[in-house]
Amino acid sequence: MIKDFIKYLKTERNLSDNTLEAYRRDVNQLFVFLKHQEPRKVVRNDIRQYLGRLQQQGLDKRSLGRKLSAIKAFFKYALREFAITVNPVMGLRSPKLDKKLPGFLSQAQAVQAVESHQGDPKDKLRDDAIMELLYGSGLRSSELLGLKSRDLDLPGLQVKVKGKGGKERIAPLTRASAAVLKQLVVKREDEGFVFLGRNGNQLNRRQLQRIVKVRIRSSDYGGKASPHALRHSFATHLLDRGADLKAVKELLGHASLSTTQIYTHVTVDRLKKVYKQAHPRAGDEEESG
């Protein structure tokens, strides 16, 4: 039944292989805990006990929520497709997450990382293009890795991106991105993947993570060095410089504005600047006695 569920997710919801594997693993772990009990015999208390065990093992709220989401999706599917009459997860709520602001580099740190000479000199052109796209266009890792030469419109300074759920959008390119991409693909004879590893195959997530980590670590940024940190920086810096929230939503490829609103945090420097410019008592005058 789990195989049928994963097949359904792949064909009907067009989920990525990584997401499908996470769903498969999360649902399978439940039934291992239940000693492979038949789905129609599972009751709410079984699910509660499973989630309680995971909490005892120290699983964080976000991971618990993800597992419960996968389990809910499975039983929703089972109710519709198989002889199951009671939904054991009905009414169970995901744990409330602590609101966590995404980490981001300062503008100076981002420029420092993008222009860094760290990494293997043989791969510098490719790595430059990766950093320019992640910070200059705010692409997700999967979007960048999936790019093919035919997706690039370098004269038009734009690129066609395939986002979550297979949804396509047009993302802008900086002139720096277009210039380095032109050098990268100019000698290519096919329209295959833009970013390749040493073996000529498509670059994978682990390789991408390593490339970005080396570059970001060359700056003085102390947070988690990842491709997503550059995406966060892209959004934050746009908003810091006055970009409209709805426009940033479209640039990021978010389905909902509420997802983009997490980026409306601002740096202390910007708050101080706005305060100093706007408040009549916030000038440079020294305080009187």
Reported as a single tens digit per residue, the pLDDT across 125-172 is 999 999 999 999 999 999 999 999 999 999 999 999 998 888 899 999
- Spell out the domains of the chain, with CATH numbers in brackets: 2-81 (1.10.150.130), 107-273 (1.10.443.10)
Give bridge partners of residue 162 from the DSSP assignment.
168
What is the reported pLDDT for 40?
84
Name the pTM for this structure.
0.62
State the Cα–Cα distance between residues 174 and 276, nearest whole angstrom.
Answer: 32
Average pLDDT over residues 25-54: 88
Q: How far is CA 129 from CA 108, 162, 277, in A?
A: 19, 18, 38
Give the position of tokens 């006695």: 289
Give bridge partners of residue 168 from the DSSP assignment.
162
Q: Give the model's confidence band at 286: pLDDT under 50 very low, under 70 low, under 90 confident, else very high.
A: very low
Given a cut of 50, whether residue 221 has pLDDT beyond it is yes
* Residues 226 and 140 sit within 8 Å (Cβ to Cβ): no
* Residues 264 and 248 sit within 8 Å (Cβ to Cβ): no
Residues acting as catalytic residues = 140, 164, 228, 231, 254, 263
Cβ atoms < 10 Å from Cβ of 204: 12
